[in-house]
């Protein structure tokens, strides 16, 4: 384990808290985030992650620095899948573009908490039971299979367990009320669709953690490295979403690239476990090699997507505008026969 000075943990915590506070203050008013603003914020988050990585290099050494950079880039690449799901959730709930940053802000806060719990548990398990690395590798190979078969795209926000549970706990009205999560109707406290969207975002992140946690543990089993790298990657998710909004479908080879990355990390886990359990003569994949492979796969995926664009899809006959972040103020309404089983009667 790496000997991390306590002041570095404190510096990380202060950086995250201050960054979130500044971000919240900068976006306290509802407004549509354009490309230039998203690009500026993306540069801020990437710069912050790289500066912290430089500190890790200087304080902890070259090996931890490379592990941090590799884990950050890995999590950043895997988070692209999250962006597709964010777009799907926003389209399903017809979230106005001006409210989307607020949803993602609370989604990020929840992700920081849950990833911390999962990563701490993962580090504790891996440090005691090396054989679990084989199980993690199997998870990554299965995820690769799902992505290549297209099964990873089958996500229905309305059937999310978190959303259905929320509807059972509190009535959810059909209309948004600005950026409020709760309003009072007929003397009763009811939730707005914005709270259901946050629940769907959090549920999606928990699903993605199934891939993310085993993958990052293949890079390092040190709690400081895995959590800080994940945290800085997650902090930049909102800006990255708005930066790539409307362009996600153009990078159609990214999903294949992510599948290759997951399978590569799966092989790395198997070699790592075999090296520890069976023979020290079994080679491991060094972190610098992992960093180079991940970066190369991402670069090739982007270049191929630009050079060989996907043919334009035929518009559905009689279809409306279902683009993410529509400007409407209503959540999607369904007829009585279309409502999910277990949905309470809608109020308001």
pLDDT digits (tens, 9 = 90+) for 144-161: 988 888 765 556 676 777
- Of 108-112, 163-167, 192-196, least confident by mean pLDDT is 163-167
Residue spans of the domains in the chain: they are 6-310
- Of 28-32, 167-171, 224-228, 243-247, least confident by mean pLDDT is 243-247
pLDDT band at 303 (very low <50, low <70, confident <90, very high): very high
Residue 22: CB partners within 8 Å, gap ≥ 6? none
As a whole number of angstroms, the distance between CA 201 and CA 85 comes to: 8
- Computed over every residue of the chain, the mean pLDDT equals 84
As a whole number of angstroms, the distance between CA 156 and CA 167 comes to: 16
Q: Is the predicted pLDDT of residue 318 greater than 80, yes or no?
A: no
Q: Is the predicted pLDDT of residue 162 greater than 50, yes or no?
A: yes
Q: Is the predicted pLDDT of residue 175 greater than 80, yes or no?
A: yes
| Residues forming beta bridges with residue 248, ordered by sequence position | none
Residue 65: CB partners within 8 Å, gap ≥ 6? 53, 54, 56, 57
- Rounded mean pLDDT of 309-318? 60
- Rounded mean pLDDT of 132-152? 86
- Of 6-15, 235-244, 290-299, 322-331, least confident by mean pLDDT is 322-331
Q: Is the predicted pLDDT of residue 142 greater than 70, yes or no?
A: yes
pTM surpassing 0.85?
Answer: no
**Residue 231, CA distances (Å) to 112, 226, 347 in order:** 6, 9, 38
Q: Is 146 exposed, middle or buried (0-12, 13-18, 19+ CB in 10 A)?
A: middle
Q: What is the pLDDT of residue 160?
A: 72
Q: What is the pLDDT of residue 47?
A: 95
């Amino acid at each position: 384990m790496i000997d991390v000075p306590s002041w570095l943990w404190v510096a990380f915590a202060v950086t995250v808290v201050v960054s979130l506070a500044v971000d919240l203050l900068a976006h306290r008013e509802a407004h549509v985030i354009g490309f230039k603003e998203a690009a500026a914020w993306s540069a801020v988050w990437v710069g912050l992650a790289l500066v912290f990585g430089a500190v890790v290099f200087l304080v902890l050494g070259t090996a931890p620095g490379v592990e941090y950079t590799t884990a950050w880039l890995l999590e950043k690449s895997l988070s692209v899948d999250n962006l597709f799901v964010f777009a799907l959730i926003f389209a399903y709930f017809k979230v106005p573009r001006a409210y989307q940053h607020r949803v993602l802000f609370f989604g990020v806060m929840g992700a920081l908490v849950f990833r911390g719990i999962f990563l701490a548990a993962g580090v504790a398990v891996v440090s005691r039971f090396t054989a679990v690395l084989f199980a993690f590798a199997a998870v990554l190979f299965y995820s690769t299979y799902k992505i290549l078969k297209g099964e990873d795209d089958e996500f229905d926000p309305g059937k999310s367990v978190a959303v259905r549970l929320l509807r059972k706990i509190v009535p959810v009205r059909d209309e948004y009320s600005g950026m409020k999560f709760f309003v009072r109707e007929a003397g009763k406290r009811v939730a707005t669709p914005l709270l259901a969207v946050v629940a769907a975002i959090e549920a999606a992140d928990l699903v993605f953690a199934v891939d993310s946690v085993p993958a990052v543990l293949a890079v390092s089993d040190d709690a400081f490295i895995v959590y800080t790298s994940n945290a800085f990657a997650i902090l930049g998710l909102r800006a990255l979403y708005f930066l790539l909004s409307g362009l996600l479908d153009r990078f159609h080879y990214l999903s294949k690239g992510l599948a290759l990355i997951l399978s590569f990390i799966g092989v790395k886990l198997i070699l790592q476990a075999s090296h520890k359990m069976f023979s020290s003569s079994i080679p491991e994949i060094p972190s610098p090699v992992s960093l180079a492979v991940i970066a190369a796969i991402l670069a090739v995926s982007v270049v191929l997507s630009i050079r060989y664009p996907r043919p334009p899809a035929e518009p559905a006959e009689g279809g409306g505008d279902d683009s993410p972040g529509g400007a409407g103020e209503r959540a999607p309404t369904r007829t009585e026969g279309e409502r999910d089983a277990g949905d309470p009667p809608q109020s308001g």
